[in-house]
Structure 1
Amino acid sequence: MARTLTVSAQQPGAFPSITDALEVAQDGAVISIEPGVYAEALRMSGRRLTLAAREPGTVTVDATGHGAPGISCTGGEVTLSGLVVSAGDYPAVHAARCELRIDGCELRAGYAAGANVTDGSRLQATGLRVTKGQYGIVVDDSGGTLDQCEVRGVSDDGIIVRLGADPTIRNSTVADCGYRGVYVYQAARPVIERCDISGTGDAGVSVASQSAPTIAESWIHDTRGVGIAFGRGCTGLVDGCRIEQTAAPAIRIDEGAAPVVREPAEPAGAAPVAGAKAGDGAVRQDTEKMDALLAELDSMIGLPGVKAEVRSLIDELQVNEWRRDAGLAVGSASHHLIFTGAPGTGKTTVARIYGQLLKALGVLPNGQFREVARRDLVGQYIGHTAEKTTSVFEEALGGVLFIDEAYTLSRAGGANADFGQEAIDTLVKLMEDHRDRVAVIVAGYTHEMSDFLDANSGLASRFAKTLEFENYSPEQLVMIVSRIAGNDDYLLADGLDDGLLEWFGQIDRDRNFGNAREARKLLEGMRKAQSGRLRALGRRPTRDDLRTLTLEDLLAATG
């Protein structure tokens, strides 16, 4: 598990500067930075680290007086999250030969670029904003993806793509730049899609020096120069772009240039869905994937109440996305849930499907599933628990954090229970700070989960809903055995269904009853019994013998 190092000028035991934390951080570490201004220029070479603001937007790395980039990365893998980075006449962020991820950061520079990515780097930027600089973002002999980024008010070009660079720039806004919005040259091949480019001092997009961009479904408007300019020797594709209120012609193609231009299907009407807001609404939704996931949920045995609740949640989220896309008000919604019920009732499976549904809706970016228990969150000494919990939480951002047997974190949990309380208190704050970026699902026995919610006064309010998972009926357990057996290429002999129904109808359903786990355990016992029976035949069993489980196997397995 990645170690988390805390940086704070006031907090006892924390590192007073980011540089101090960098000196001792091991690969994979997360450096969590408390709010404040840190007058430092950070350099990393060959490092694999994450630098994250404890509260996005409250941490400023100010290298203005240091004669160097604010953050410089050479080689390695670096993630920057929620930071404000300022520099003087150097880039705010510079990366060479580096895997760089920037999430929700703001960059400011003087006579330099906000971000300069060079020498074969890969940039993955989401929610990046450049608000000051000579240039916004320069991508030089590099690639990657810029999604929902903004460049505003720089004195020269907004985005420069050159030297064969091939980034994808989507759902982004470039506005009020002193020269060109996007400048593509020296054999660059970017993909520019659903971008909003406006208010430039010259062309919205300028293509030169043998370059071949793809510019799709973008809105280029209110520019002093032409909308798009292709220089001699350039090719590429302009597909479905809306170009208006620019100098004439809207698209200028010099002699010797040969781009393909396809007109938009609807050239007039309301503003197209483009720019940093283009990631919202239906553009991001995968309805085919949603239908497949809901079908998978429906195919689960039993759980009618749970299925109805999940569908209700998804319906509400879907309508919210439609309202947002229509420009209507949408209240903030929590994606956090409580799953109560006995073990083996499908809680983990439903949690995975829920995460993927949120991804298909466009509510969460990746839908990844991270399952943890008490041991993953609780440390061994004061302060350690907060670090572990924060690290686990940050790893789950963008997806689902599933905490099984969450009630073991409460003070009633036994030894070291106070450290469990520290985990709960840390989770409460993180769930509120990042409610739009993660879904936390806590699971456990019904009664104990009530005690867990009482462990912190703000905990219950963080969750949108409680879903109760009921025990499976004997008939449903027989169906589960039959389905698992069929998936493993086994058949149930005549009469075995009745035997299974009788067995599941008479076994004790106490606290330790495992529901589907009992079905799997019984089936495994029947397979072992079948193996002994077939070995005793005195002949090689037929294919049907190998596939068939009998009442005799059930009797042997149940003893």
Structure 2
Amino acid sequence: MARTLLVAPDQRGALPTIRDALESAEDGAIIAIAPGEYTETLALAQLNVTLSAKEPGTVTIESPTVHPALTCAGCRVTVSGITFRATEAPAVQLRGGTIRVTDCTASTKFGAGISVSDGSATEIIGTRVTGAQCGIVVEDSDSVVDGCEIDEIDDDAIIVRLGAKATIRNTTISKCGFRGIYMYQAGDSAIERCQISQTSDVGIAVADQTSPVISESWIHDTQGVGITVGKGCGGVIEDCKVENTAQPAIELADGARTEIREGDGRRLPNAGAASGKSNQQDLEQVEKLLGELDNMIGLASVKGEVRALIDEIQVNEWRRSEGLSVGAVSHHLVFTGAPGTGKTTVARVYGSLLKALGILPNGQFREVARRDLVGQYIGHTAEKTASAFDEARGGVLFLDEAYTLSRSSGSGADFGQEAIDTLVKLMEDHRDEVAVIVAGYTGEMREFLDANPGLASRFAKTLEFENYTAEQLVEISSHLAKGDDYLLGTDLDTALLEWFYQIDRDESFGNAREARKLLERMRKSQSTRLRALGQRPTRDELRTLTLDDLLDAIKSDAD
């Protein structure tokens, strides 16, 4: 028979703290806790115990540190009738093992009320989560949430993500600062007989290859739409009631495969027809885009590399149409080089080329930086990165200054590595749906590619963008001026050539950006010169930039 240990600080013969009981506990022990408030941080590892309030609802365990009130790692644990409180971390953190949480309460200022990760198998039953940043977060684990109440949450009430599989049933969610339930990369999860209301955004949001069954649930009085389903997602929405929400009540993105059924199982029509690669090549558009690439100043080696990639893609499509074997091809690229060398422009053209070749359905361009991927607390970064990736689905995700993800901010917790690890997984799982292009200085990008063992192998090729020559910068200056209805005056091109030859070209040299900034200063100098004429200038005078304008611009910059 399992031994029972009593925790009661004021009772003779009982143990004074829960930690003392855990240290004395044998395998299968039951720790009964007398009513009271316990200021303790409990960290359980590889234990098989039961923690139970002697009188349910009368025991509170509050963490005095920045750690969770209860952490279970690789345990077989049952927890019953206890209130857990924390401030700077999840109130309850479950990492691996088999855990059953029944009739408990969890709250925390920052983090999730209950965090489940690392392959845990959990049951959370009859439990209330309130006053937390997030309610329950399930990641890479199998969980059942049954008969729970989640309210007064700052962000999402329940998040199921990144390899998790959850069944959420008979649960009430209300008064959330963001979404009621958010699922992404959550496979075949389920939401059954739940009630979701008073959310500041969507009631239920399904994204990124998740195919849940949502049945017999009531979503009402939400500021966002009742249910949203992202492209690439499947599953079923069956016999649900959606009332007093933003419109449409149920929103299916293009490419969603979700079926909406009435209670009798009859399939209702929906606009979310699946969309994948078109496999239709627009060769005329391909040639037009390659012409645009050829017309860019300089970049001879980059143009050659892009043409080689396009040639391979086009031939592979021809082989596929003839029933010949075609190897897997990655469309992810690394762009290295100094700023102002056309990396963003080439990335846009590349995305349009992939669309014209039938590889990507829309060729849209989504540019992101570190701030768009990295969050402020554990788990937030994976969500932001997956969301940005999902927004780029069907086109190009362009990450400039990618190396900033592999550098610590120096301010404590840094989640750049989490963004890299999430990106690596997404690139592999959805390599036919998004072309990821990362860009930055040559040396720093080498460090970035070393940040994850599988990162470098995800990219097909590295394209080096060289600095523009002085002659090319003069040509760029003339092109930029012409685009703004200006002309370079007599001998100005010679003076510009001399200037670009002697200017310092350190790592921060901006190439085309330097030419643009110089032209902006020259236009200001021209304005001052023309105002001093004492009369309205002619059309030619308004259009012409002179040597005096250049000299004044150089002087003002030096000052």
Q: TM-score, normalised by structure 2?
A: 0.62
Provide the C-alpha distance between the structure 2 equivalents of 1:396 and 1:60, rounded to a whole number of angstroms: 22
Query: Which residue in 2 is equivalent to 1:103?
Result: 255
2:457 alignment partner, one of 456, 461, 465: 461
Q: Which has the higher strand share?
A: 2
Provide the C-alpha distance between the structure 2 equivalents of 1:67 and 1:417, rounded to a whole number of angstroms: 38
Query: Which residue in 1 is equivalent to 2:339?
Result: 343
**Retained in 1: the 8 A contact 2:385–2:419?**
yes
Opposite residue 124 of structure 1, the aligned amino acid is: G
Provide the C-alpha distance between the structure 2 equivalents of 1:418 and 1:544, rounded to a whole number of angstroms: 56
1:556 and 2:552 correspond: yes
Opposite residue 361 of structure 2, the aligned amino acid is: P
* RMSD over aligned Cα atoms: 3.7
Taking the TM superposition and a 5 Å limit, the aligned residue runs for 1:134-533 are 280-281=278-279, 284-411=280-407, 414-415=410-411, 418-533=414-529
Higher relative contact order structure (alpha carbons within 8 Å, sequence separation ≥ 6)? 1
Query: Which residue in 2 is equivalent to 1:221?
Result: none
Opposite residue 464 of structure 1, the aligned amino acid is: A
1:510-534 CA-partner distances (Å, limit 9, x unpaired): 1111000000000011101111111
**Retained in 2: the 8 A contact 1:529–1:556?**
yes
**Retained in 2: the 8 A contact 1:68–1:87?**
no
Provide the C-alpha distance between the structure 2 equivalents of 1:298 and 1:348, rounded to a whole number of angstroms: 15
2:271 alignment partner, one of 123, 131, 137: 123
Moved more, 444-453 or 19-28: 19-28
1:85 and 2:235 correspond: yes
**Retained in 2: the 8 A contact 1:287–1:361?**
yes
Query: Which residue in 1 is equivalent to 2:192?
Result: 40
Moved more, 527-536 or 325-334: 325-334
**Retained in 2: the 8 A contact 1:4–1:388?**
no
**Retained in 2: the 8 A contact 1:344–1:515?**
yes
Provide the C-alpha distance between the structure 2 equivalents of 1:363 and 1:328, rounded to a whole number of angstroms: 17
Provide the C-alpha distance between the structure 2 equivalents of 1:111 and 1:296, rounded to a whole number of angstroms: 55
Aligned pair count reads 392
**Retained in 1: the 8 A contact 2:192–2:217?**
no
Q: Quick one: structure 1 residues 84 and 473, their matched pair in 2 at CA, closer, same or farther if it must change by over 3 Å?
A: closer
Q: Which runs of 5+ in 2 are unaligned?
A: 1-133, 146-157, 161-165
Provide the C-alpha distance between the structure 2 equivalents of 1:343 and 1:50, rounded to a whole number of angstroms: 42
Q: Quick one: structure 1 residues 42 and 29, their matched pair in 2 at CA, closer, same or farther if it must change by over 3 Å?
A: closer
Provide the C-alpha distance between the structure 2 equivalents of 1:522 and 1:472, rounded to a whole number of angstroms: 15
Q: Quick one: structure 1 residues 547 and 52, their matched pair in 2 at CA, closer, same or farther if it must change by over 3 Å?
A: same
Task: Give the superposition deviation at 1:409.
Answer: 0.6
Query: Which residue in 1 is equivalent to 2:543?
Result: 547
**Retained in 1: the 8 A contact 2:338–2:441?**
yes
**Retained in 1: the 8 A contact 2:365–2:397?**
yes
Q: Quick one: structure 1 residues 25 and 7, their matched pair in 2 at CA, closer, same or farther if it must change by over 3 Å?
A: farther
Moved more, 28-37 or 510-519: 28-37
Task: Give the superposition deviation at 1:416.
Answer: 5.1
Query: Which residue in 2 is equivalent to 1:61?
Result: 213
Provide the C-alpha distance between the structure 2 equivalents of 1:315 and 1:4, rounded to a whole number of angstroms: 51
Provide the C-alpha distance between the structure 1 equivalents of 2:346 and 2:136, rounded to a whole number of angstroms: 34
Provide the C-alpha distance between the structure 2 equivalents of 1:533 and 1:385, rounded to a whole number of angstroms: 52
Provide the C-alpha distance between the structure 2 equivalents of 1:321 and 1:377, rounded to a whole number of angstroms: 34
**Retained in 1: the 8 A contact 2:526–2:545?**
yes
Give the SS at the match of 2:336.
Answer: strand
Opposite residue 483 of structure 1, the aligned amino acid is: H
Opposite residue 405 of structure 2, the aligned amino acid is: L
Name the % identity.
58
**Retained in 2: the 8 A contact 1:309–1:467?**
yes
Q: TM-score, normalised by structure 1?
A: 0.62
Opposite residue 427 of structure 2, the aligned amino acid is: M
Provide the C-alpha distance between the structure 2 equivalents of 1:427 and 1:421, rounded to a whole number of angstroms: 10
Provide the C-alpha distance between the structure 1 equivalents of 2:136 and 2:440, rounded to a whole number of angstroms: 31
Task: Give the superposition deviation at 1:288.
Answer: 2.3
Q: Quick one: structure 1 residues 41 and 508, their matched pair in 2 at CA, closer, same or farther if it must change by over 3 Å?
A: same
Bigger-Rg structure (1/2):
2
Give the SS at the match of 2:376.
Answer: coil
Q: Quick one: structure 1 residues 28 and 392, their matched pair in 2 at CA, closer, same or farther if it must change by over 3 Å?
A: farther
1:260-296 CA-partner distances (Å, limit 9, x unpaired): xxxxxxxxxxxxxxxxxxx653xx2222222221111
Opposite residue 271 of structure 2, the aligned amino acid is: L
Moved more, 501-510 or 44-53: 44-53
Moved more, 498-507 or 356-365: 356-365
Q: Quick one: structure 1 residues 48 and 514, their matched pair in 2 at CA, closer, same or farther if it must change by over 3 Å?
A: same
Opposite residue 273 of structure 2, the aligned amino acid is: A
Q: Which runs of 5+ in 1 are unaligned?
A: 128-147, 149-278
Q: Quick one: structure 1 residues 80 and 523, their matched pair in 2 at CA, closer, same or farther if it must change by over 3 Å?
A: closer
Give the SS at the match of 2:468.
Answer: coil
Opposite residue 420 of structure 2, the aligned amino acid is: I
**Retained in 2: the 8 A contact 1:7–1:33?**
no
Task: Give the superposition deviation at 1:40.
Answer: 2.1
Task: Give the superposition deviation at 1:115.
Answer: 3.7
Task: Give the superposition deviation at 1:460.
Answer: 0.1
Query: Which residue in 1 is equivalent to 2:50?
Result: none
Task: Give the superposition deviation at 1:62.
Answer: 6.4
1:210-253 CA-partner distances (Å, limit 9, x unpaired): xxxxxxxxxxxxxxxxxxxxxxxxxxxxxxxxxxxxxxxxxxxx
**Retained in 1: the 8 A contact 2:421–2:452?**
yes
**Retained in 2: the 8 A contact 1:409–1:417?**
no
Give the SS at the match of 2:252.
Answer: strand
Moved more, 307-316 or 408-417: 408-417
Opposite residue 446 of structure 2, the aligned amino acid is: S
Moved more, 487-496 or 101-110: 101-110
Q: Quick one: structure 1 residues 541 and 319, their matched pair in 2 at CA, closer, same or farther if it must change by over 3 Å?
A: same
Provide the C-alpha distance between the structure 2 equivalents of 1:390 and 1:347, rounded to a whole number of angstroms: 24
